[in-house]
Amino acid sequence: MEFIVITIFKEIFDTYFNSSLPKKGIDRGVISYKIVSPRDFTDDKHRKIDDYTYGGGPGMLMMFPPIKKSIDRAREINSKTHVILLSPQGVKFNQEMAKELSKLESITLVCGHYEGIDERIKNFIDEEISIGDFITSGGEIPALVVIDSVIRLIPEFLEKEETIKKETFEDKLLEYPQYTRPENFEGYRIPEILKSGHHEKINLWRKREMLKRTLLLRPDLLMNRELTDEEKKLIKDIFDELMENMNKILKRE
């Protein structure tokens, strides 16, 4: 997959793509990236890309022409590229969207800055995405979030496909707790079941912990998930356990 990033901060993406797993993905030819700078499409010697807003208002706005020409350049690089504007007004990004994007040949990410981008640019994008209900200094960090979540889903990017299948949100459940050595440190022990060597019981324990975490922390995920009979039984057991503990707490004098 090819990532084309429209940004005035090239170094942010150079650092990301030349480190750890992204670097390995590039070396193996699984992913590639190109940077397009709006400053390359300005007409003045200062390479100005921002200006005051019509009608007044705080801050500066990224100008329409340099961004439009940057998108044109991205489409010259790859005519099939899917152009995404990172914006607080966009559709909230999630794992399902990441899966769909991972199937594409090329993605262009438009990173705004200052107070945003001239509204006319929305006539030339394919999609507008937000990573959450908060504000960042620019679109670079949201773009990195999208890139990092998408590349993990590209075939052959991660050497072990099973790693993806067991990650949080992949089954609309939070991930089960995990432990490593030592098994006992300052009295903090790992669950005994994990030392049993009984894989069927361990898997059942993990499924129960996934459901329990999701029920307590993200019940909304369960609302949109079809539950198996086994999962329904586990949730009932979890609920009974919680009610029993609650009654014990309330009965304490």
Q: List, for residues 121-165, the tens digit of each pLDDT value.
A: 999 999 999 999 999 999 999 999 999 999 999 988 986 654 555
SS3 labels along 61-124? EECHHHHHHHHHHHHHHCCCCEEEEEEEEEEECCHHHHHHHCCCCEEEEECCCCCCECHHHHHH
Its CATH architecture, for the domain 2-159, is 3-Layer(aba) Sandwich (3.40)
What pLDDT is recorded for position 70? Answer: 98
CATH 1.10.1270.20 segments of the chain: 184-251
**Number of CB atoms found within 10 A of residue 15's CB:** 11
| CA separation, residue 21 to residues 9, 98, 197 (Å) | 21, 17, 32
The answer to whether 74 and 83 are in contact (CB under 8 A) is yes
CATH 3.40.1280.10 segments of the chain: 2-159
For residues 162 and 103, the model is more confident at 103
Average pLDDT of span 189-206: 95
182 preceded by a cis bond (ω within 30 of 0): yes
- Tell me the fold of 184-251: Trp Operon Repressor; Chain A (1.10.1270)
What is the percent of the chain with per-residue pLDDT over 90, rounded to a whole number? 84
Residue 6 region, left (φ>0) first, then alpha (ψ -120 to 50), else beta? beta
What pLDDT is recorded for position 58? Answer: 84
Q: Where are the beta strands (DSSP E) in 13-52?
A: 32-36, 50-52
Q: What is the pTM of this model?
A: 0.84
> Which helix (H) or strand (E) is 129 found in, with range?
strand 127-130
Q: What is the mean pLDDT of the chain?
A: 93
| pLDDT tens per residue, range 27-70 | 999 999 999 999 999 988 889 999 999 888 888 999 999 999 99
Do you know the residue count of the chain?
253
CA pair distance 90, 134, nearest whole angstrom: 12
